[in-house]
Amino acid sequence: MSIKRRELLKIFGISALSTPLISFSSHSPSHGTSPNIIIKPPRLRIGDTVGLISPAGIVDTEDIQQAQKTLGNLGLKIKLGKHILDRYGYLAGKDIDRAADVNHMFADKSVTAIIAMRGGWGCNRILPLLKYHLIRSHPKIIMGYSDITSLLLAINARSRIVTFHGPVAISSWNQFTLDYLQPMLLQGKMVPMKNPLTTEVRRRIINPGIATGKLVGGNLSVVCAMVGSPYLPSWNRRILFVEDIGEDIYRVDRMLTQLKNAGILSQLSGFIFGQCTRCSTGDDPSLTLMEVLNDHIKPLGIPAWYAAMIGHIQDKFTMPIGVNVEIDANQGEIRMLEPAVV
C-alpha cells in the first residue's frame, strides 16, 4: 500500500529542518564538489573589487564615504549595493531588496569579496530569500560580525562555503585587525590567533586542554535567535566561539541555557567566549559572567576560555567559519589547520 505524501512529510519533517535544503545540478560550477564538501572562496588581491551591502541596520552617505576611504587605502575598489541607502524603519530597506543585494553581489563576476556595512538587526529576516545554490556556485569572501552572524552561519550551512567573522565596513580597521585579516584573506596563510600581553581584559581558563574541530560561531544573541531554524550548521565536534554586547549577565545565562537545553553545548569539542562588551550585572544580586560560564561550560569537560579578541571591540581577530582549527585553552590560542581561501 502506498504512503500518502502528507504522511511522508510527517515522518520526515523533523529531519528536513536539520538538513541543508539545497540541491545541485550537474551544470553547477561548484568545482565538481559534493554538496557536503566545504568550498573555500578565492583570496582577495590588491586591485580587486569589494561589494558593500547593508543587510541589517541603516547607513548613511558618511558611513559609505568612511568605508570607501578605509578600503581604498588597502588598494581595493568598491562597488555599492543597489539598495545600500534604502530605509524601512530601523532596517536598511525592505527584506526583498536587502536580500537582492546579497544575491546580486554573489552573482556579479566583477566582485571578489562582500563586506557588510554594519550590523544592527535584520539579517534573520532575509535568510529565506537568499539563493544558496547561486551563492555556492559563486563562492566569495563574505565578512562581518554582530547581526551579520546570521548571514555567515546560514551561508556556511546552506551553501557550504567558508565565511568570515570579522570587521564590518565601518569598523576601525586598525593595525591589529589588519595584522590578522590581511595574511588570512590576501595571502592565504594559516594565521595563529592569540591575545597580546597588553590586552586590558584578563584571559580566564574555564577548562584547560587542546581540541580540534571546525570553527563556528558569532554573536551569542543572534545564534540563539536562529536555534530551531534550518540555517545553522552541524554542531558535532565543532569549536564554538561567541561574543556579545550590552547584555545583563542573566541574559547571557539564559542564552547559554538555551544552547544547553537544545543539545548544542554537549556536541562541542571546544568553546571560546570572546568579549562581552558593556555586559552588566545590573542593580539586583547577580552571578558574575565567570560563574555563569563555569556553570554551563565547565561540566562539559572541553577545552574552553574567556576573553579572546572577538566581538564588539576595536582590536579583533578574523574568524574563518567552517575551517578546521586547533585550540589551546592553556595558552588561549587558535591555530588554523588549513588555509581559509584558495
Any idea which residues carry the catalytic annotation?
146, 243, 312
Q: Are strands 333-336 and 324-328 parallel, antiparallel or unpaired?
A: antiparallel
DSSP codes, 36-59: TSPBPPPPP-TT-EEEEE-SSB--
DSSP codes, 252-264: HHHHHHHHHHTT-
Calpha distance 340→41 (Å, rounded):
8
**Strand boundaries in 166-257, DSSP class E:** 193-194, 204-207, 210-219, 238-245
Calpha distance 340→342 (Å, rounded):
7
CA distances from 311 to 25, 95, 308 (A): 38, 26, 9
CB 70 within 8 A of CB 169: yes
SS3 333: strand
For residue 290, what are the contacts with CB-CB under 8 A and spacing of at least 6?
A: 204, 306
SS3 336: strand
Calpha distance 86→227 (Å, rounded):
29
DSSP codes, 273-326: EEEEET-B--SS----HHHHHHHHTGGGTS-EEE--S-SSSSS---EEET-EEE
Phi, psi of 118 (to 5 degrees): -165, 175
